[in-house]
């Protein structure tokens, strides 16, 4: 019985130590989430408006040879840019993104994958490791961008993807990331990066947006396209950053609650064992006293 009490006390102490860690991680993630949430909320309207403008220009420029980044061609080679986190302990966040990537390949690019023409660029260590374990061709150049998260570092990855697309190294580029909704909710999504998608306007079929280009259409599009694509990728990374901290905060909150439940059960077990030990000792004392009196 003393051995059992010691074991339960040890487990209680271990769970309490773990709970202190989960509570601390929750607080750290909550602080980081506030900053990350402000960044994506401020960025999203600007990025969305730029993307809509670019898609409208592309939709109304059929046959324009200057729009190399909007050129659609038969899909033989595929680039997937998977944005996950560098660290774990954030629930099923990274696992869901890896599953979404595998599902995308199976549903849309299975023939390209079987021919070895699907490559994954990982932004964030966890997703890249998951795809490597699954046997995908991967590139680690941009894995550690979250270590120095800024528009300039993301711009490098965007420029490399654009250059590879223009050279014909890839025929389509897809972004896989988590769109931030709130601390407890993320939307895992696939978004076309290249070629630039066209707007499908069902309400005004046949009508074109009226654009006035100054100084000239070719010069303006050549200047704007890379910048808008840089912004699109940066927005996706900011979404993923906020989603990661939200997922980790929620996971650590649930872990702390689970620790409370576990502690409650262990304390009940400990008290019962202690009471049983006391009862046994009293019984032995009474029995010994009765034997002496007899």
Cα–Cα distance list, 10 to 169, 258, 266 (Å): 59, 18, 10
Asked if 266 and 15 count as a contact pair (C-beta separation under 8 A), the reply is yes
CA 289: distance to chain centroid? Answer: 70
**Distance separating alpha carbons of residues 200 and 86, to the nearest angstrom:** 36
Token pair, residue 195, equals 């070629």
The C-alpha angle with vertex 83 and arms to 81 and 84, in degrees rounded to 5, equals: 145
90 is catalytic: yes
Q: Which of 193, 203, 114, 98 is nearest to 154 (CA)?
A: 193
Task: Return the closest-CA partner of residue 93 out of 32, 176, 36.
Answer: 176
Q: Which of 81, 90, 128, 196 is catalytic?
A: 90
Catalytic residues: 90
């Amino acid at each position: 019985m003393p051995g059992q009490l010691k074991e339960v006390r040890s487990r209680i102490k271990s769970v309490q130590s773990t709970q202190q860690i989960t509570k601390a991680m929750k607080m750290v993630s909550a602080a980081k989430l506030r900053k990350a949430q402000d960044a994506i909320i401020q960025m999203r309207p600007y990025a969305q408006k730029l993307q809509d403008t670019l898609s409208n220009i592309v939709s109304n420029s059929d046959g324009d040879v200057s729009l190399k980044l909007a050129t659609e061609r038969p899909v033989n080679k595929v680039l997937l840019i998977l944005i996950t986190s560098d660290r774990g302990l954030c629930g099923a966040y990274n696992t869901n993104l890896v599953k979404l990537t595998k599902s995308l390949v199976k549903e849309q690019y299975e023939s390209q994958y079987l021919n070895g023409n699907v490559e994954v660029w990982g932004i964030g260590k966890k997703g890249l490791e998951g795809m490597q374990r699954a046997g995908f061709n991967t590139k680690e150049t941009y894995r550690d961008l979250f270590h120095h998260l800024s528009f300039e570092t993301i711009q490098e990855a965007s420029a490399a993807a654009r250059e590879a697309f223009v050279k014909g190294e890839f025929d389509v580029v897809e972004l896989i990331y988590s769109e931030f909704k709130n601390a407890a909710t993320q939307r895992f999504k696939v978004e076309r990066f290249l070629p630039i998608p066209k707007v499908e306007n069902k309400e005004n079929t046949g009508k074109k947006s009226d654009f006035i280009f100054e100084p000239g259409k070719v010069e303006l599009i050549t200047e704007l396209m890379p910048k808008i694509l840089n912004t699109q990728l940066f927005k996706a990374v900011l979404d993923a950053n906020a989603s990661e901290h939200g997922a980790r905060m929620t996971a650590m909150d649930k872990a702390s609650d689970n620790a409370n439940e576990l502690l409650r059960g262990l304390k009940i077990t400990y008290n019962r064992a202690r009471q049983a030990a006391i009862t046994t000792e009293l019984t032995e004392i009474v029995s010994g006293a009765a034997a002496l009196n007899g």
